[in-house]
Amino acid sequence: MTAEALTADEPASDAHEQRAFGFWLYLMSDAIIFSLLFATYAVMVQNTDGGPTGKTLFSLPNAFAETMLLLLSSITFGFATLAMRSGDATGVRRWLQVTVVLGLGFVGLEMREFYGLVHRGAGPDRSGFLSAFFTLVGTHGAHVSVGLIWILVMTGQIMVKGLTAPVVSRLGRLGMFWHFLDIIWIGIFSVVYLPGVL
């Protein structure tokens, strides 16, 4: 239902609150999916079938660079949120553009890592460990890619519509999604990469 289609007895603010609640439910279901992927990884991490392990495959500097890019993108998104609250549409667009650049850097590093692993014969079909690794990290990367597309769409909406109530509401949900991905990545860094190389 669009804001224009709201009836007089259903104020726009109620519709935005309902959408925010619905989005929280989506994030909780996504958290369950990631919990299952983490559990699968924990079960499969020793199932290397005589192949390479995380200690021989993972690059801690690369994972750290990915972490820094994603955490910085969360900070820049926070600056976009502050600009939104002060009504500065230009500031919001600029900070969202910086967020996109940082997010693209993250995705680029992840794709380079995946390509390097497959090139070395350590693709997802090599062992249960690598299948679980590619599924967990790849699912997160896919979410980041969707988030980047969403940021671009929102940047376009701000340019066309300005900081209207529906746009601000959507930006709020996008912020929840983006920060959620940061939390998941911290989990991946802590559960996958750190134990894998130590």
Tell me the CA end-to-end span of the chain in Å, nearest whole number. 51
Structure tokens at 88: 């500065």
For 105, the domain range is 12-197
4 lies in some domain: no
- pLDDT, tens only, 89-116: 999 999 999 999 999 999 999 999 999 9
Give the other-Cβ count within 10 Å of 1's Cβ.
Answer: 10
5 lies in some domain: no
Q: In this structure, what CATH number is given to the domain that contains residue 155?
A: 1.20.120.80
6 lies in some domain: no
Burial category of 4 from C-beta neighbours within 10 Å (exposed 0-12, middle 13-18, buried 19 and up): exposed
Residue 8 has pLDDT above 80, yes or no: no
Q: How many domains does the chain have?
A: 1
- Phi-psi sector, 2: left (phi>0), alpha (psi -120 to 50), beta: beta
Nearest CA-CA partner of 96 in 41, 169, 166, 149 = 149
- Mean pLDDT within 7-28: 71
* Per-residue confidence (pLDDT) for residue 107, from 0 to 100: 98
Q: What is the distance between the alpha carbons of residues 170 and 173, in angstroms, rounded to a whole number?
A: 5
Q: What is the distance between the alpha carbons of residues 31 and 153, in angstroms, rounded to a whole number?
A: 24
- Mean pLDDT within 114-138: 95
Q: What is the distance between the alpha carbons of residues 12 and 4, in angstroms, rounded to a whole number?
A: 9
Q: How confident is the model at residue 14 (pLDDT cuts 50, 70, 90)?
A: confident
Counting every residue written for the chain, the total comes to 198
Q: How confident is the model at residue 13 (pLDDT cuts 50, 70, 90)?
A: low
172 lies in some domain: yes
Burial category of 70 from C-beta neighbours within 10 Å (exposed 0-12, middle 13-18, buried 19 and up): buried
In the chain, what percentage of residues exceed pLDDT 70?
91
Structure tokens at 67: 């972490």
95 lies in some domain: yes
2 lies in some domain: no
123 phi, psi to nearest 5 deg = -80, 180
Q: How confident is the model at residue 5 (pLDDT cuts 50, 70, 90)?
A: very low
3-state DSSP call for residue 122? coil
Q: How confident is the model at residue 120 (pLDDT cuts 50, 70, 90)?
A: very high
In the chain, what percentage of residues exceed pLDDT 90?
80
* Per-residue confidence (pLDDT) for residue 49, from 0 to 100: 84
Q: How confident is the model at residue 195 (pLDDT cuts 50, 70, 90)?
A: confident
Residue 1 has pLDDT above 50, yes or no: no
Q: How confident is the model at residue 19 (pLDDT cuts 50, 70, 90)?
A: confident
